[in-house]
Amino acid sequence: MTLQVDREQLAAAHHTVRAELLAERNASGHWVGELSSSPLATATAISALMLAEQGGLSCGLPAYDPDQSRSGVEEIYRGDLSELIVQSLHWLAEQQNEDGGWGDTPASRSNIATTMLVQAAFNLTGVPARYTNLLQRCEEYVKREGGVAGLRRRYNGDKTFVAPILMNCALADMIPWRKVPSLPFELACLPQRWYHWLNLPVVSYAMPALVAIGQARFHHTSSRNPLKRWIRTAAKRPSLAILQAMQPDNGGFLEATPLTSFVVMSLASMGMANHVVVRRGVEFLLASVRADGSWPIDTNLATWNTSQAISALDWNFSSECEGQTDSAPNETEQSLDWLLGCQHREIHPATGAAPGGWAWTNLPGGIPDADDTAAALLALAGWKRSWPEKRSQEVNQAARAGVHWLLGLQNHDGGWPTFCRGWGKLPFDRSGTDLTAHALRALHAWQNLLRLESTNAPFAKRIQKAIGQGIDYLQQHQQPDGSWLPLWFGNEFHPQEANPVVGTAKVLLMCDELGLKNSEMARRGVLALVDAQHASGGWGTVLSTAKQEVPQTKPAELLEAPASVEETALALEALLPFCKQSEPAQLAAQQGLSWLAEAVQENRHLEPAPIGFYFAKLWYYERLYPKIFATRALACASRSIGSDLARMSPAHK
């Protein structure tokens, strides 16, 4: 294969993104990154703090100091919240889109959920903004989108976000309490192992919301059924104790601003502002506010970012791309220690997850999940390939525990869910194609590295059976056009807000590594990914669909150029292994590499795209994603071309 590309341009792009990614590594040996500020998270935090203050929580706490370090949750920056809340409200006002609504990030389309939460924050505070007609335009947008009915349509029966949003609106006197769904918080008192049999109306990670919002709804509008009323009255105290046990020491449920805010406002509205759950939640919110008065949806994705960055760099943290040395440098061992330290060693109190998995963050609110465990295992596999004998026992032990954890998570349909096996069909509890492909790559890597066929045949057989079931799942969920739709990434410009580019790329990576490059499934996937390429050479959603079906909101340039560095890099990484056998893949890769190199040259990789899904259609972008994905794609291009692009970088020319 000979890719017709400008090698010097690619080398320069690789050198740039790799150097920038290395520069993001901190003194502790890992990558923290930065999630986008979120109007939704900011609005919920404002509402929660206002209700907590009205409940009397400010008594005895020090005054808010915006210049004081926020490194520790033990310091509480509040007393008089007026300065912070006004600052946060003005930040929200500046994010309003031209259509009157708000999106989940400053670069996102408006949606009914975020707009209603922002509206509730303004109503609760009563603080006027200095922007003309802000609330009038907001109300007009909500009315056009159908109000409460439009919100319910957005989530299609999933109460995970519908219930807290409507609860927040009821607290702001925007709707009557009878419109807030009643949640069976008494079920939290049952043994945790029973949860997946109960057909709960919320997803597995939302148990804190089930308890807090369910109690708030019951408090403000009691059930008319006397038996149900008696049961729920009896369940209030024990379910609250369960909620307290689920809360991490730093107060942040899942490290998530929205979830923590919903819990805080629910209990505060019931006259429980001084309860330990509320106080810890407020501490978390005040410790995580940013200097401009905004909040991100989650504290960080440090473990996920670190696993991805390590794999992109292949454990080579030197300033130049010179390849690995025979012995592991101290700086790589520092990163290894950090990653190994993030593995969960005990049963998780929130989900009952067994030991052995990794979460997206090293912070107390993280919960082990399939994607982050697979990413960590693949990063450790890179270590094992580079230094087979270095700290072998320690790495092997962690890998075995991680593999066992993944095997125990696999659903009956052969796919992998996010957090919990067999919980149900709600969006973030069902199996996902992206999660399944990622898990299969991790299982396959360690089956070979541990030489299980000869050292532990029963374990090898179990892994092989799981891999076969996972492949069957992916075959069954391939779309008619040959693509796959992922669970944790989307595209706001896609008619269904799906992201077939990311989903297809992740499955094709699995096909390459598991020896399925010549399968019919892979062939169709390659053609689907090639067909999704834009005329510019980049990847995003289908440009014609975006122009026809998406109304123009802020920022307008996204409509004109919806291709992103993240999606293009992922598509290239997936297609490059298929170039030898597929001329369409080779032509698409050539054009895509030129697009990517030019994007880096023009610093477009510094503009992350909101393609990430957080829980329940909550969009985010992560500053490190373009750098990580571009580094990995360009390194893959280097291997495919058959020469080291690093030797052609400006530092070596």
What's the pLDDT tens digit per position in 505-521? 999 999 999 999 999 99
Q: What mean pLDDT comes out for the span 494-511?
A: 94
What's the pLDDT tens digit per position in 161-202? 899 999 999 999 999 999 999 888 888 887 766 666 666 666
Per-residue buried b or exposed e for 183-198, using 16+ beta carbons within 10 Å of the residue's own CB: bbbbbbbeeeeebbee
| pLDDT at 195 (0 to 100) | 63
- CATH number of the domain within which 408 lies: 1.50.10.20
pLDDT top residue among 618 and 24: 24
Q: What mean pLDDT comes out for the span 265-277?
A: 94
Residue 408 belongs to what domain range? 342-477
Is residue 372 one of the residues assigned to a domain?
Answer: yes
Cα–Cα distance measured from residue 384 to residue 381, given in angstroms and rounded to the nearest whole number:
5
Task: Say if CB 216 and CB 208 are below 8 A apart.
Answer: no
Q: Looking at the structure, tell me whether residues 350 and 490 fall in a common domain.
A: no
Is residue 505 one of the residues assigned to a domain?
Answer: no
- Residues in Cβ contact with 246 at an 8 Å cutoff, skipping those fewer than 6 apart: 207, 208, 253, 349, 350
Phi, psi torsion values for 132, nearest 5 degrees: -65, 130
| pLDDT at 79 (0 to 100) | 42
Q: Looking at the structure, tell me whether residues 360 and 314 fall in a common domain.
A: no
Q: What mean pLDDT comes out for the span 621-630?
A: 98
Is residue 499 one of the residues assigned to a domain?
Answer: no
Q: Looking at the structure, tell me whether residues 120 and 222 fall in a common domain.
A: yes
3-12, 211-220, 247-256: least confident range: 3-12
- In three-state form (DSSP H/G/I as H, E/B as E, the rest C), the secondary structure along 370-432 is HHHHHHHHHHHHHHHHHCCCCCHHHHHHHHHHHHHHHHHHCCCCCCECCCCCCCCCCCCCCCE
Q: Which residue has the tokens 């259609």?
A: 617
**pTM of the full structure:** 0.90
Q: Looking at the structure, tell me whether residues 112 and 244 fall in a common domain.
A: yes
Is residue 502 one of the residues assigned to a domain?
Answer: no
Task: Say if CB 74 and CB 115 are below 8 A apart.
Answer: no
Is residue 53 one of the residues assigned to a domain?
Answer: yes
Amino acid at site 215 = Q
**pLDDT greater than 90 at residue 159:** no
What's the pLDDT tens digit per position in 372-404? 999 999 999 999 999 999 999 999 999 999 999
| pLDDT at 485 (0 to 100) | 95
**pLDDT greater than 50 at residue 224:** yes
Q: What mean pLDDT comes out for the span 296-310?
A: 97
- Domain finish residue from 418, 448, 477: 477
What's the pLDDT tens digit per position in 444-493? 999 999 988 888 899 999 999 999 999 999 999 999 999 999 999 999 88
Is residue 524 one of the residues assigned to a domain?
Answer: yes
102-106, 226-230, 570-574, 575-579: least confident range: 226-230
Give SS3 for 613: strand
Cα–Cα distance measured from residue 634 to residue 638, given in angstroms and rounded to the nearest whole number:
6
Q: What mean pLDDT comes out for the span 141-148?
A: 96
Cα–Cα distance measured from residue 611 to residue 5, given in angstroms and rounded to the nearest whole number:
28
Chain-centre distance for alpha carbon 278: 25
What's the pLDDT tens digit per position in 60-82? 444 434 444 443 323 333 445 67
How many residues are given for the chain? 653
Q: What mean pLDDT comes out for the span 287-309?
A: 96
Task: Say if CB 473 and CB 413 are below 8 A apart.
Answer: yes
Q: Looking at the structure, tell me whether residues 565 and 592 fall in a common domain.
A: yes
Exposure of 215 in the CB half-sphere (CA atoms within 13 A): 30
Task: Say if CB 211 and CB 239 are below 8 A apart.
Answer: yes
Q: How confident is the model at residue 652 (pLDDT cuts 50, 70, 90)?
A: very low
Percent of the chain with pLDDT strictly greater than 90: 70
Q: Looking at the structure, tell me whether residues 225 and 107 fall in a common domain.
A: yes
**pLDDT greater than 90 at residue 26:** yes
Cα–Cα distance measured from residue 413 to residue 143, given in angstroms and rounded to the nearest whole number:
41
Q: Looking at the structure, tell me whether residues 179 and 192 fall in a common domain.
A: yes
Cα–Cα distance measured from residue 631 to residue 627, given in angstroms and rounded to the nearest whole number:
6
Q: Looking at the structure, tell me whether residues 272 and 358 fall in a common domain.
A: no
Mean pLDDT across the chain:
87
Q: What mean pLDDT comes out for the span 543-569?
A: 57
Q: Looking at the structure, tell me whether residues 135 and 212 fall in a common domain.
A: yes
pLDDT top residue among 476 and 221: 476
Chain-centre distance for alpha carbon 201: 22
Q: What mean pLDDT comes out for the span 28-34?
A: 96
Is residue 113 one of the residues assigned to a domain?
Answer: yes
Is residue 456 one of the residues assigned to a domain?
Answer: yes
| pLDDT at 61 (0 to 100) | 42
Amino acid at site 207 = M
67-81, 85-99, 317-331, 634-648, range with greatest mean pLDDT: 85-99
Q: How confident is the model at residue 305 (pLDDT cuts 50, 70, 90)?
A: very high
Cα–Cα distance measured from residue 162 to residue 169, given in angstroms and rounded to the nearest whole number:
11
Q: How many Cβ atoms from other residues are within 10 Å of residue 236's Cβ?
A: 18
| pLDDT at 520 (0 to 100) | 97
Q: Looking at the structure, tell me whether residues 174 and 275 fall in a common domain.
A: yes
Cα–Cα distance measured from residue 194 to residue 35, given in angstroms and rounded to the nearest whole number:
35
Q: How confident is the model at residue 217 (pLDDT cuts 50, 70, 90)?
A: very high
Q: What mean pLDDT comes out for the span 559-567?
A: 76
- Tally of domains in the chain: 3
Helix, strand, coil tally for the chain in percent (to 5): 55, 5, 40
Q: Looking at the structure, tell me whether residues 464 and 531 fall in a common domain.
A: no
What's the pLDDT tens digit per position in 36-65? 999 999 999 999 999 998 876 544 444 434
Q: Looking at the structure, tell me whether residues 390 and 445 fall in a common domain.
A: yes
Cα–Cα distance measured from residue 216 to residue 171, given in angstroms and rounded to the nearest whole number:
10
| pLDDT at 558 (0 to 100) | 39
- Residues in Cβ contact with 471 at an 8 Å cutoff, skipping those fewer than 6 apart: 414, 440, 514, 516
What's the pLDDT tens digit per position in 320-349? 655 555 556 788 999 999 999 999 999 887
